[in-house]
Amino acid sequence: MKRLTKLILAVGVLLFALAGCGFPGIAGTDRGTIKIAAMSATESSVMANMLAELINHELGYPTTLVANLGSTTVTHQALLRGDADIAATRYTGTDLTGTLNLPVEKDPKKAGAIVKRVFKQKFHQTWFPTYGFADTYAFMVTNQFAAQHHVATISQLKSLAPSMAAGVDSSWMNRKGDGYADFTTTYGYDFKRVYPMQIGLVYDAVAAGKMQTVLGYSTDGRIHSYDLTVLKDDKHFFPPYDASLVVNDSLLKKYPKLAPVLHRLDGKISVAAMQELNYQVDDQLKEPAVVAQEFLVKHNYFRGGED
Amino acid sequence: MADMGTFQQFWYYLTTNGSYVLSQFTRHFLISIYGVLIAAVIGIPVGLVIARNRKLSSTVIGIANVIQTIPSLAMLSIIMLGLGLGVNTVVVTVFLYSLLPIIKNTYTGMVNVDPTVIDSAKGMGMTSFQRLYMVEIPLSMSVIMAGIRNALVVAIGITAIGAFVGAGGLGDIIVRGTNATNGGAIILAGALPTALMAIIADLVLGFVQRRLEPKESSR
């Protein structure tokens, strides 16, 4: 029995050592590696790969992805526990109402300021300025429809709405605060018919002409490939979902050169650019890693000015 | 893209993302190998010890058996609670699953060494360590190798699930394929190399195992 205890002890010690030291050849097993969390959505994966490539190429620090995380909550926990150091995509709207449990704030600037302040105080994390795109709900029509009826904003649909069919995300229909009921009050009109459906199907539905307008996500790659026009939310009805990266302060302290490099992406990726990147992954069979690298090379790693 | 057949898409995918697939392939292979190696470093001595102390054998093999019965996804999640997300969790999971085949085969190999051979080794005046090192281990090597081979093939499969704790590897490509709207080709690009890796590992270790088999004439 003595031997067995010794053995178990040895196994325990080894496992403990395992958690600490690295395996040569596998990125992410070493303590110094910068770990970037990515959610399973294409957009998140592309941005995480972009950060990894940027850090790796410009500073030479080893990086690894903690990929396929299911939700913002999981990502948040991973950062708090130190399983990851950087969250590639966080959205002001989601974190404001979800993570922080605060009321909806419709002014993007104010929403950004609140999450930035509270995350600093509560979690010692730095919320970076937005990449420049927001992944929010947006009404969209075909380019042909937009040209024919001269519409560019949601308000301009008012006269057409009584004859229009709209497809929307089923979870949006009965949502409080920014759902359909509140939408009709804010914009002052109703569509003739509203079809609640799965969000992934709306793009095909509008492109096929089955309905005149649909509510989809503003950065989806299919907006580009199906020739759709996103209508401007001129009454600022939908809460802002500006995308940013969030970093643990401990990492920024450890690598002082990191912040300036990460700031190179501030405001550099427009909604159209993100749509194009998503399109290349979702439609052109390219890996997010490949798309991210090509994008950075094309823009010379955003070296303008800082260096 | 939609006008291409799945296999055309598959080739297109490989030509555009070849280096990425290769890097995930290496990563996948290394994760499996490290887990099995650590299990061998620990499992073989444990197997030797329990072959000498038969009383311990039922307890130790019992524990290893219990570990083996835990479903892999559950095991991965339990270890994640302790080690967090990332590669280490997967390596430890692979390690735990590799223990049983390695310990059991080492034990079986040792126990099945012909007692008359051991007796003659004793008669020649060999010490206990010399018997182990010069007679018992060489005679049971092919059975031990069969355990490692078994462990590695299982390990390659388990590493594929590692994508769920963010460890990367070919499982990552498969998961992405299942999320994509038209991901058949992407799933193939992740699944076929995984299968290929398992088959090649099995063939190579099978070859090694046969080379290690004691020759009949020398008995």
pLDDT tens for A1-11 read 566 666 666 66
Chains A–B, number of C-beta pairs less than 8 Å apart:
104
B164 to A68: CB separation less than 8 angstroms, yes or no: yes
Distances in Å between the Cα of A31 and the Cα atoms of A199, A289, B86 are 40, 23, 12
* Chain B residues in contact with A26 (beta carbon < 8 A): 27, 30-31, 34, 87
Give pLDDT, residue A70.
Answer: 79
pLDDT tens for A106-121 read 888 899 999 999 999 9
Closest Cα to residue B133, out of B161, B108, B104, B110? B110
Domain stop point among A176, A202, A230: A230
- How many angstroms separate the CA of residue B218 from the nearest CA in chain A? 35
**A149 and A186 housed in the same domain:** yes
Give pLDDT, residue A22.
Answer: 67
Greater model confidence, B4 or A45: A45
Give pLDDT, residue B219.
Answer: 46
Q: What is the DSSP code (8-state) at residue B214?
A: P
Give pLDDT, residue A7.
Answer: 62
Domain ranges of chain B: 18-212
Give pLDDT, residue A14.
Answer: 65
Query: What is the domain range of residue A160?
Result: 137-230
**A173 and A100 housed in the same domain:** no
**A226 and A157 housed in the same domain:** yes
Give pLDDT, residue A18.
Answer: 57
In a domain, A261, yes or no: yes
In a domain, A295, yes or no: yes
**A117 and A152 housed in the same domain:** no
* Chain A residues in contact with B46 (beta carbon < 8 A): 7
Report the complex ipTM: 0.81
Identify any residues that bridge with A194 across adjacent strands, giving them in sequence order.
A166
Give pLDDT, residue A8.
Answer: 66
Low-confidence ranges of chain B (pLDDT < 50): 219
Give pLDDT, residue A11.
Answer: 65
Domain CATH for A191: 3.40.190.120
In a domain, A255, yes or no: yes
pLDDT band at A306 (very low <50, low <70, confident <90, very high): very low
What is the residue-averaged pLDDT of chain A? 87
In a domain, A130, yes or no: yes
B31 to A284: CB separation less than 8 angstroms, yes or no: no
**A164 and A79 housed in the same domain:** no
Closest Cα to residue B197, out of B21, B23, B25? B25
| Average pLDDT rounded to a whole number, residues A82-102 | 90
Give pLDDT, residue B2.
Answer: 64
pLDDT tens for A163-214 read 999 999 887 888 777 789 889 999 999 999 999 988 778 888 999 999 999 9
* Rg of chain B (C-alpha set): 21
* Chain A residues in contact with B100 (beta carbon < 8 A): none
In a domain, A209, yes or no: yes
* Chain B residues in contact with A64 (beta carbon < 8 A): 86-87, 168
pLDDT tens for A53-85 read 999 999 999 999 998 887 888 899 999 998 899
Among all residues of chain B, which has the CA nearest to that of A201?
B181
In a domain, A187, yes or no: yes
Greater model confidence, A98 or A290: A290
pLDDT tens for A232-276 read 999 888 888 899 999 999 999 999 999 999 999 999 999 999 999
- How many angstroms separate the CA of residue A265 from the nearest CA in chain B? 24
Identify the burial level of B56 via C-beta atoms within 10 angstroms of its C-beta, where 0-12 means exposed, 13-18 middle and 19 or more buried: middle
**A112 and A166 housed in the same domain:** no
pLDDT band at A12 (very low <50, low <70, confident <90, very high): low
Give pLDDT, residue B168.
Answer: 87
Give pLDDT, residue A130.
Answer: 94
B175 to A18: CB separation less than 8 angstroms, yes or no: no
Architecture of domain B18-212: Orthogonal Bundle (1.10)
**A121 and A146 housed in the same domain:** no
* Cα distance between residue B119 and residue B116, in whole Å: 5
A26 to B86: CB separation less than 8 angstroms, yes or no: no
**A72 and A111 housed in the same domain:** yes
**A121 and A156 housed in the same domain:** no
In a domain, A60, yes or no: yes
**A252 and A219 housed in the same domain:** no
Q: How many helices (H) and strands (E) does chain B have?
A: 9, 0
Domain CATH for A98: 3.40.190.10
In a domain, A258, yes or no: yes
**A245 and A201 housed in the same domain:** no
The number of domains in chain A is 2
Domain stop point among A230, A257, A282: A230
B166 to A65: CB separation less than 8 angstroms, yes or no: yes
Tokens of A196: 């609640």
**A250 and A212 housed in the same domain:** no
Give pLDDT, residue A17.
Answer: 62
